Structure 1
Amino acid sequence: MFAKNCWYVAAWSDEIESRPFARTFLNEPVVLYRGESGKVTAVEDRCCHRALPLRHGDVVGDCLRCAYHGLEYDQTGQCTRIPGQDKIPAKARIRVYPVVEKDDLVWIWMGDAEKVDMGSVPNYPWHHDRGWRYKKNTYLIKANHLLIYDNLLDLTHLGYVHKKTIGGDAETHFSAATQTKRTPKGVRVERWMLDCVPPPTYTTAFTFGKDRVDRWQEIEFEPGLVRIYTGAKDAGAGAPQGMRDNSFGFRGLNAMTPETDNTTHYFWSAAHNFRLYEQAVTDAIYENIVVTFGEDKEIIESQFLNMQRTPGRPLVDIGFDIAPNQARRVWDAMIKSEATAGVTASGATSA
């Protein structure tokens, strides 16, 4: 089961052009397109006439035309043209999903359209902040989306899984001063690793004045998104007191949108705030994160396969599972609330 009444990333803005773009979200096939006006529209991938997937159609002005018999649908989902027929049946319409384009991302609301809050779309201003540069990618992870949240909210795995990139010494991660708290929308984790050796990704891209640094990790979860702000500064130079200028700063967007119960669209970006006009630095950080997320992908997919092989077997929590478990409670509460309100698979509410 999925929570539907929240915003999920559907695509990067530059993925949506003047031709149908098909993806599946929460087990529902969807088509997105950019009309002549520039507005992005998302509709169900099914013509109401003979059920041909609309991904095979064409964009005509701001309308989407079916490739089978030429029915055209406007941005409200209403059929506006049936070739050779003047009268259009009132039922000739398709479902439209609310979408918002913001911060180089296209967000989609898969739930009850009457409950959509257009002002609650998550912010990610660093995609257009001149003080940061970023590169992006999208992966299809063969695992349930909750396992990716588990991974991102407990970074103690870095010292074991990511030794060659962002990891560093495992003991440093387990000894980090950690604070976890609930927020109005989700969960926040803050971790400090003082007087430690910086990991390879940091020293490859940034020149520190000392051999040891004070390192921070700030992780913010809300449904559909995890923002990560990490960095390091020379040990004793005031980073814990908020003086983070002249430091290695990294911001990571991690947006997980379920494709199915067993697969997840993972949208991510890697941004840095130093040596901004050196493309080689941006590329080097990006390539390090590609390696890092490739390692995570292998771990998560292997984990999920084993869970499918041994269904029903219990898992044992440890102390560092506080944040992942709190995030799961947020999801569980949303699903329970929607079930109580009667949100159906089609996103409508039951009578």
Structure 2
Amino acid sequence: MFLRNMWYVAAFSADVKPGKCLARTFLNEPVVLFRTASGSLGALIDRCSHRAMPLSEGHVDGDIIRCPYHGLEFNAAGVCAHIPGQERIPAAANVRSYPVSERDGLIWIWMGEPEKADLRSIMSNPEHRDPGWSWRPYYMHVNSNWQLLVDNILDLTHVAYIHANTIGGNPQTHFNADMSVQFDGEKVTLLRKMPNSVPPKTYVAAGGFKGNVDRWQMVEYRPCGGNVLRVNAGACEVGTGAYEGRRDNGFTLLNVHGVTPETETTTHYIWTICTDAPRESGVPDMLFDQFYETICEDERALEAQQRRINDMPDMRFVGIASDGAVSRARLLLERLHENETAVTS
């Protein structure tokens, strides 16, 4: 299942430099992203209209991208601007272009009907531009369906087991957490509180905690904002006001998880880790390195799931008590897909 009329994170801004292009597949469609000499972005179907040569094999020259096979040139709008050896350019030579936008260090792409692309719906990630925060970008090509990644982030009880050596902690603490799920028809919000709990080693290293802590985990998922999940997590010393918003004595991690389908069984995982810990403390780099290992643990688990699903595609999932946020998100995605299909059928 794919949703087309929504924004997706296509790449980091730094991935597409002036005069360069980047080939990626989104929702089973090959796309070439490129940046013109003036810095503008283009996103075209990665197929020359003449003989199907991938445009990503060509060259960006000024404001156009040139096919390497016979030299046809296309601008960022997909208009064929030049065909060597002839003056008349048939309209059929034009290629499909995709709406793109750039903000907060991310490139966003709209794979659906262009007239429905509303820039106001793109989720803001202010930590990427706040000088009080440090962040680091990561890209992973994950061999699993995109919805498994969404499930994984919305059910954080897996942290106790998959991440036992990094951010995990006591399994009973995770499964007995004070958990609430809110759903407003467009967004799923998961909040987990783990008061007076033993901090995992990553938290001890980052916060210098000497005893138990009050931990929190909050996940916000609004698919139409770019299929991004924002995870705010951290810890403070017990009883110092973490759950009332007083968190200066602890530390906060914020993860921006861009989940962009490539095919039915592969996903572009474009994510960042952010923290408000002082740069001079050395804590941000330590957290970034350790959290990368955490996400690698997720990647291995997700790919193992997908392999078994591929082996036994007709077997269904069984729900358990901790699936509240996952179930809400799945229902929301199904409703969005039904609405989109009804309009286009």
TM value normalised by structure 1: 0.95
> 8 Å contact 2:231–2:256 — kept in the other structure?
yes
Distance in 2 of aligned mates of 1:243 and 1:63: 52
Q: What does the per-residue CA deviation read over 1:222-279, in whole Å, with 9 as the maximum and x for residues that have no partner?
A: 221100000100000111111111211100011110110010010111111112234x
**Structure 2: segments with no counterpart, 5+ residues:** none
Partner AA of 1:235 in structure 2: V
Distance in 1 of aligned mates of 2:185 and 2:12: 27
Q: What does the per-residue CA deviation read over 1:30-89, in whole Å, with 9 as the maximum and x for residues that have no partner?
A: 000111121111100001111100011111111111111111111211111111211111
Q: What does the per-residue CA deviation read over 1:197-218, in whole Å, with 9 as the maximum and x for residues that have no partner?
A: 111111112223x401111111
Name 2:302's counterpart in structure 1.
Answer: 300
Distance in 2 of aligned mates of 1:206 and 1:43: 46
Name 1:154's counterpart in structure 2.
Answer: 155
Distance in 2 of aligned mates of 1:185 and 1:67: 44
> 8 Å contact 1:100–1:121 — kept in the other structure?
no
Alignment of 1:185-196 (within 5 A): 185-196=186-197
> Aligned residue pairs: how many?
341
Q: What does the per-residue CA deviation read over 1:154-196, in whole Å, with 9 as the maximum and x for residues that have no partner?
A: 1011111111111111111111111101135320001100011
Distance in 2 of aligned mates of 1:146 and 1:110: 17
Partner AA of 1:16 in structure 2: V
Q: Does 1:245 align with 2:248?
A: yes
Distance in 2 of aligned mates of 1:141 and 1:33: 23
Alignment of 1:273-292 (within 5 A): 273-278=276-281, 280-292=282-294
Name 1:347's counterpart in structure 2.
Answer: none
Q: Which of these residues, 216, 223, 233, is aligned with residue 236 of structure 2?
A: 233
Partner AA of 1:73 in structure 2: F
Partner AA of 1:211 in structure 2: G
Q: Does 1:323 align with 2:325?
A: yes
> 8 Å contact 1:20–1:54 — kept in the other structure?
no
Q: Does 1:76 align with 2:98?
A: no
Find the residue that maps to 2:279 and give its secondary structure.
coil
Distance in 2 of aligned mates of 1:179 and 1:32: 40
Find the residue that maps to 1:96 and give its secondary structure.
coil
Q: Does 1:14 align with 2:17?
A: no
Find the residue that maps to 2:115 and give its secondary structure.
helix
Find the residue that maps to 2:130 and give its secondary structure.
coil
> 8 Å contact 1:136–1:269 — kept in the other structure?
yes
Name 1:99's counterpart in structure 2.
Answer: 100
Q: What does the per-residue CA deviation read over 1:9-44, in whole Å, with 9 as the maximum and x for residues that have no partner?
A: 000000002222100000000000111121111100
Find the residue that maps to 1:91 and give its secondary structure.
helix
Find the residue that maps to 1:36 and give its secondary structure.
coil
How far off is 1:103 after superposition? 0.5
Name 1:346's counterpart in structure 2.
Answer: none
> 8 Å contact 1:144–1:262 — kept in the other structure?
yes
Q: Does 1:255 align with 2:281?
A: no
> 8 Å contact 1:41–1:99 — kept in the other structure?
yes
Distance in 2 of aligned mates of 1:185 and 1:229: 19
Name 2:336's counterpart in structure 1.
Answer: 334
Name 1:40's counterpart in structure 2.
Answer: 41
Moved over 4 A (4+): none
Distance in 2 of aligned mates of 1:87 and 1:275: 61
> 8 Å contact 1:133–1:272 — kept in the other structure?
yes
How far off is 1:114 after superposition? 1.5
Q: Does 1:5 align with 2:5?
A: yes
